[in-house]
Amino acid sequence: MERKDERYDCKSDKRSEDRFSPPARRQISDRRRAVVMLEALACEYASNVVPAYYEIALKTKAARDEESQGMLDIIFNNRVIDLGDSTFCGELRDGAMRQLFDSKKNTLASRAKSLEKIMKIKLSELPGVGDAE
C-alpha cells in the first residue's frame, strides 16, 4: 500500500478562504470587539461543544461497539493540522508555492530557504504553537 493511500486531506483553495472568517455582509464598526467576541465563542466551542459532541454524539450514539470507540480515540488523538494548508494557505500554498510552480523554475530549495525566516516569525506569533523551531 502506498503512503498516499493512507492520507486524508482537507481540500481547499483560495476561493474558499471565507470559511475561516465571519461573513462581511455589513461594515463592522468596532473590529476589536468583534475579534474579542469571536475569540470567546471559539474558546467556548473548543472547551464545551467539541468534547460534548465527541463523548455524547460520536462515542455513545454513533459508535456501535467499544472497538469503534477505540478507533475514534486513535483518530482524534493523532490529528495533525497542516498550517501551510490552512492558516498560511494564502502565504504558502496559494502564494509562494503557486508562484514558483507557475514560473516553472526549479528553485524550490532556495525559495523555501527564503521563506523560512518569515514563517518562523509568523509561527511565533500564533498562540499555543510555541517555539517555531
3-state secondary structure of 81: coil
Residue indicated by cell numbers 461594515: 27
Q: What is the pLDDT of residue 22?
A: 59
pLDDT tens for the 133 residues of the chain, in order: 445 555 555 555 554 444 555 555 667 777 788 888 888 988 999 899 888 988 888 888 888 888 888 888 898 888 887 777 777 877 777 888 888 888 888 888 888 888 888 888 888 887 776 544 4
Whether the full predicted model's pTM is greater than 0.75, yes or no, is no
- Residue ranges of alpha helices (H) inside the chain are 31-44, 50-52, 66-77, 98-103, 108-125
Q: What is the pLDDT of residue 133?
A: 44
Q: What is the pLDDT of residue 7?
A: 53
For the purposes of burial, counting CB atoms within 10 Å of the CB of 63, is it exposed (0-12), middle (13-18) or buried (19 or more)? Answer: middle
- For residue 54, how far is the Cα from the chain centroid? 19
Nearest to 85 by CA among 20, 3, 40, 5: 20
Residue indicated by cell numbers 483553495: 13
